[in-house]
Amino acid sequence: MSYEKKLMQMKGLVKKNTIKEEPKKEVPVATLPFYTEKWNAAGLNLIQNDKGFLFVKETFYDHSHIHGNIGLHHLHEAITFMQEKYPDHPLTLAPGIPFCFYDTETTGLKGTGVLIFLNGMLKKVENGFLLTQQVLAEPGQEASFLLASEFWKTSQSIITYNGKSFDFPQLVSRWTMNRNTIPPLQEHKHIDLMHSSKRIWKGDLERFKLKQLEEQKLGFVRENDIPGHLAPIIYFDAVKHGDPTNLMKVLTHNEWDILSLVTLYILSVKLLKEDKVVESSVAYTNIAKWFRDLKSVDTSQDWFKFVIDRFADDEVSVAYYYVGLHLKRKHLYDESLKAFQASLTEIVGKYRIDVYIELAKLYEHQKKDLEMALEITRKCAGYLAKMPNVVSEKQQLRLHEDLQKREARIIRKLTISRESAQPNKKRAFQS
């Protein structure tokens, strides 16, 4: 039988065996959890939407509410200050765009099976602030839970602590898993207060857990707090047995996290106001470096001068170093030399090497003082030999090579200069 005939026979079979469509089955309505009444009594209200149901707790805070030693009423002032003074700063909230302080609790740290079971969002409302805590009713209700967050409705600024690395990627992951049942996730601007805290207090704090910041900077000490690593166990136990007692403690933990986000934002902005000294010289030097990295050179210099004027410790020497760099860029070489020389009084480590190098460059190229350039270069080489651990082994080798080249070049210039001066002396003697 030819190939064409076989195809014709198969075509006939297809016509005879047309698959009949089965009647569509109605999707059964999900049964409410057996613990609904208990959770309602504990303060968790059952909310239903197009995708199912979830539990929600809302807490209102008046403007006068104080968390630790900082009042929430300062938030508006902080936001306005950043928008007017530093509109392009990473801490600045875009005008006209809604914002919320956001923190999650999850059933684990990583993996496709990890769920968000608690979304905590604090927003500004009339006469105060509203904290909305949404709880996943059961794992099968994730679409309903995510839909209720309304992160699909409009773009907004989301303020978190370590949220860029954890909370928001986790939200994106869960949204992706449910992309066929809920609207697409909007693009959101993100402010991560862990990053800004490290910029401000690096060298001042040993650890950057939110709890340490609360105790050392925000004046808030947690009592009877549930450790974060127990939250997944508590959630699954609450779903399995229905008792919400410990789950409500997890909500309190989440509530404290979010209130601390608000006060941490307020404090961080307060430190950028430059009005009076409330932190160490290290913190203000860090702020100056932060603005320098943001290319806000003039603001950076104001902060370095703030450190020089207000303090009398090692950080002043670091501030003088950066002021020297700024003045050199402006071709104010004499002022730059004075700043670098002032920094040498206390500066140590890699900074001291950098200062020596900058001084050697200025004396060689701008001041044409080769004797001083050679002296500074040799001092730098001596310091590096005495303190080799201030830089990595690779940097040490490169610096040694650069200093040797610099020394050889200066000696060569000095030799040429002295030789060119000799004939003039002879002519003067003969005359």
Question: Which residues does the chain have with pLDDT short of 70?
Answer: 1-30, 111, 423-431
- Domain coverage including residue 84: 36-273
353 & 380 share domain = yes
242 & 330 share domain = no
329 & 420 share domain = yes
Task: Please count the structural domains in the chain.
Answer: 2
At residue 1, the pLDDT reads 53
264 & 292 share domain = no
pTM score, whole prediction: 0.86
At residue 427, the pLDDT reads 55
Report if residue 49 sits inside a domain.
yes
299 neighbors 330 (Cβ within 8 angstroms): no
At residue 13, the pLDDT reads 43
User: Which residue among 220, 254, 273 closes a domain?
Assistant: 273
347 & 321 share domain = yes
Report if residue 21 sits inside a domain.
no
At residue 426, the pLDDT reads 52
